[in-house]
A and B are shown apart, each in its own frame.
Chain A
Amino acid sequence: MLKKLILGAAALAVAGTVQVTTVSAEDTLYIPSLSYRTGPFAGAGGPISNGFADYFNMLNERDGGIGGAKLVVEECETAYNAQKGVECYEATKGNGALAYNPYSTGITLQLIPKAPVDQIPVLSMGYGLSAAAVGEKFPWTFNYPASYWSQMSSILKYIDANGGVKGKKIGFIYLDVGYGKEPIPLLDKLAPEMGFEWVGFPVGVKEMQNQGATWLNVRKERPDWMIMWGFGAMNPTAIKEAAKIRFPMDKFIGNWWAGAHADLEPVGEAGKGYKASSFSGIGTDFPALQDVIKYVVDAGKSQAKKEDVGKVLYNRGLFNAVIMAEAIRAGQKSSGKVKITGVEMRDGLESFVLDEARLKEIGLEGFTAPITASCKDHEGSGAIFVQQWDGKTWNRISDLIPPMTDVVKPLLEEAADKYVSEQTDWKTQSCG
Chain B
Amino acid sequence: MFYREAGQYKTTYEADSAKFPILQDKLFIWFYLAIAFIVIPLIGGEFFLGAIMIPFLVFALAAIGLNILTGYTGQISLGTGAFMGVGAYACYKMTLAFPDVNILVFIFASGIFSALVGVFFGLPSLRIKGFYLVVTTLAAQFFLEWAFIRIPWLYNYNDSGAIEVPQREAFGVIVTGASASAEVRYLVCLTVVVIMTWFASNIISGRIGRSWMMIRDMDIAAELMGVRPLYAKLSAFAVSSFYCGVAGALMVFLWLGAAEVESFDYNHSFEILFMVILGGLGSLLGCFLGAAVIWILPVIIRAWLPPIVDTLTPFIITSSQADLVSDIMIGVMIVVFLIMEPHGLARLWAIIKQKLRVWPFPY
Residues 53-88 of chain A: 1 if any B CB is under 8 Å from the residue's CB, otherwise 0? 000000000000000000000111101001110110
**CB <8 Å contact, B159 and A181:** yes
**CB <8 Å contact, B99 and A38:** no
Contacts of A2 in B (CB 8 A): 348, 351-352, 355
**CB <8 Å contact, B162 and A106:** yes
Partner of A105, one of B160, B167, B177: B160
Contacts of B340 in A (CB 8 A): 1
- Chain A nearest CB from B166 CB (Å) reads 5
B102 within 8 A of A: no
In residues 19-70 of chain B, which contact A (Cβ within 8 Å)?
45-47, 50-51, 55
**CB <8 Å contact, A176 and B46:** no
Residues 149-172 of chain B: 1 if any A CB is under 8 Å from the residue's CB, otherwise 0? 100000010111110111110000
Report the nearest B residue to A76, measured CB to CB: B319
Report the nearest B residue to A79, measured CB to CB: B323
Report the nearest A residue to B322, measured CB to CB: A77
- Alpha-carbon distance A90/B49, docked complex (angstroms): 10
Whether A87 contacts B320 in the complex (CB less than 8 A), given A5-B348, A114-B178, A422-B156, comes out as no
- Alpha-carbon distance A424/B178, docked complex (angstroms): 11
A377 within 8 A of B: no
Stretch in B198-206, B210-218, B240-248, B254-262 with 4+ CB within 8 Å of A: B254-262
**CB <8 Å contact, A91 and B51:** yes
Report the nearest B residue to A185, measured CB to CB: B159
- Chain B nearest CB from A286 CB (Å) reads 28
**CB <8 Å contact, A178 and B160:** yes
- Chain B nearest CB from A79 CB (Å) reads 6
**CB <8 Å contact, A16 and B167:** no
- Alpha-carbon distance A34/B275, docked complex (angstroms): 27
**CB <8 Å contact, A16 and B304:** yes
- Alpha-carbon distance A37/B299, docked complex (angstroms): 17
**CB <8 Å contact, A21 and B307:** yes
**CB <8 Å contact, A90 and B256:** no
Partner of A38, one of B165, B259, B262, B320: B320
- Alpha-carbon distance A106/B158, docked complex (angstroms): 13
Interface size on B, residues (CB 8 A): 54
- Alpha-carbon distance A182/B311, docked complex (angstroms): 45
Partner of B263, one of A76, A77, A83, A87: A83
Contacts of B167 in A (CB 8 A): 423-425
B300 within 8 A of A: yes
**CB <8 Å contact, B50 and A90:** yes
Whether A86 contacts B51 in the complex (CB less than 8 A), given A113-B164, A177-B161, comes out as yes
A18 within 8 A of B: yes
**CB <8 Å contact, A90 and B46:** yes
Contacts of A129 in B (CB 8 A): 159-160
B128 within 8 A of A: no
**CB <8 Å contact, A109 and B159:** no
Partner of A109, one of B162, B166, B299, B308: B162
Report the nearest B residue to A85, measured CB to CB: B256
- Chain A nearest CB from B359 CB (Å) reads 12
Whether A205 contacts B262 in the complex (CB less than 8 A), given A77-B319, A419-B164, comes out as yes
A299 within 8 A of B: no
**CB <8 Å contact, A20 and B50:** no
- Alpha-carbon distance A53/B58, docked complex (angstroms): 35
Contacts of B343 in A (CB 8 A): none
- Alpha-carbon distance A407/B308, docked complex (angstroms): 54
A117 within 8 A of B: yes
A15 within 8 A of B: yes
B341 within 8 A of A: yes
- Alpha-carbon distance A130/B160, docked complex (angstroms): 9
Contacts of A425 in B (CB 8 A): 167, 179
Whether A18 contacts B307 in the complex (CB less than 8 A), given A37-B320, A424-B166, comes out as yes
Contacts of A36 in B (CB 8 A): 320
Partner of B178, one of A83, A117, A178, A182: A117
A334 within 8 A of B: no
In residues 188-239 of chain A, which contact B (Cβ within 8 Å)?
204-205
- Alpha-carbon distance A83/B50, docked complex (angstroms): 11
Partner of A422, one of B159, B164, B318, B323: B164
Contacts of A419 in B (CB 8 A): 158, 164
**CB <8 Å contact, B166 and A15:** no
- Alpha-carbon distance A303/B322, docked complex (angstroms): 16
- Alpha-carbon distance A37/B46, docked complex (angstroms): 26
- Alpha-carbon distance A305/B9, docked complex (angstroms): 73
**CB <8 Å contact, B47 and A18:** no
**CB <8 Å contact, B164 and A75:** no
**CB <8 Å contact, B161 and A82:** no
Instruction: Using CB atoms and an 8 Å cutoff, list the residues of chain B in contact with chain A.
Output: 45-47, 50-51, 55, 96, 99, 146, 149, 156, 158-162, 164-168, 177-179, 255-263, 299-300, 302-304, 307-308, 311, 318-320, 322-324, 327, 340-341, 348, 351-352, 355
Question: Please, could you name 11 A-B residue pairs with CB atoms under 8 Å apart, sorted by A?
Answer: A2-B348, A38-B324, A75-B320, A86-B50, A109-B260, A110-B257, A177-B261, A423-B166, A424-B167, A424-B168, A425-B179
Instruction: Using CB atoms and an 8 Å cutoff, list the residues of chain A in contact with chain B.
Output: 1-2, 5, 12, 15-16, 18, 20-22, 35-38, 74-77, 79, 82-84, 86-87, 90-91, 94, 105-106, 109-110, 112-114, 116-118, 129-131, 176-178, 181-182, 184-185, 204-205, 303, 415, 418-419, 422-425
Beyond known contacts A35-B320, A90-B47: 11 more, CB 8 A cutoff: A2-B352, A15-B304, A79-B323, A82-B263, A84-B323, A87-B51, A177-B260, A177-B262, A178-B159, A184-B159, A424-B168
